[in-house]
Structure 1
């Protein structure tokens, strides 16, 4: 019975994919209605140079990660040293 259901679902998917007219999604319809009355303004391709921030150094994140790993190792060593045997 499951093979028959799979075959029917496959047929329905092929039938839907082969449709001549495909209805737009709800978001596309909403945006089309909104833009009909209030079209969006032009958007620049690139950001203004005033808004561009200086990228961080990749070494900063490496130092932070290695520092955290060293702190965890030292903390675990301190806890192991203080633990009574």
Structure 2
């Protein structure tokens, strides 16, 4: 028998998928046992934990970014004019 045959026999996904009974994972069994004693509170799907606090205006950050870009452009122009060439 070749190594390929051993690999296919060990990891035969079609055979595993066709099994009549599938055992739940350890986490699923743990949660089922825990929830049997005390079921979880109902919660909406992807509920926000806290209300969102409104941020400050984004104009300040936009002005800072544009100012930095302008400063880099000016510095590159200055370096090109007064460079060694």
TM-score normalized with structure 2 length? 0.53
Alpha-carbon shift at residue 13 of structure 1 (Å)? 2.5
> What residue in structure 1 maps to residue 76 of structure 2?
none
Question: Whose helix proportion is higher, 1 or 2?
Answer: 1
Partner of 2:4: 3
- CA deviation map 1:47-68 (0-9, x unaligned): 38x71233674x84993xx68x
1:55–1:23 CA distance, 2 compared to 1 (3 A): farther
For 2:3 and 2:51, locate their aligned partners in 1 and report how far apart those are by CA, in whole Å.
58
Q: Secondary structure at the match of 2:22?
A: coil
Unaligned runs of 5+ in 2: 73-85
- Unmatched runs of 5 consecutive residues or more in structure 1: 71-85
Alignment correspondent of 1:37 = 37
> Are 1:52 and 2:56 an aligned pair?
no
| TM-score, length of structure 1 as denominator length | 0.53
Equivalenced residue count is 66
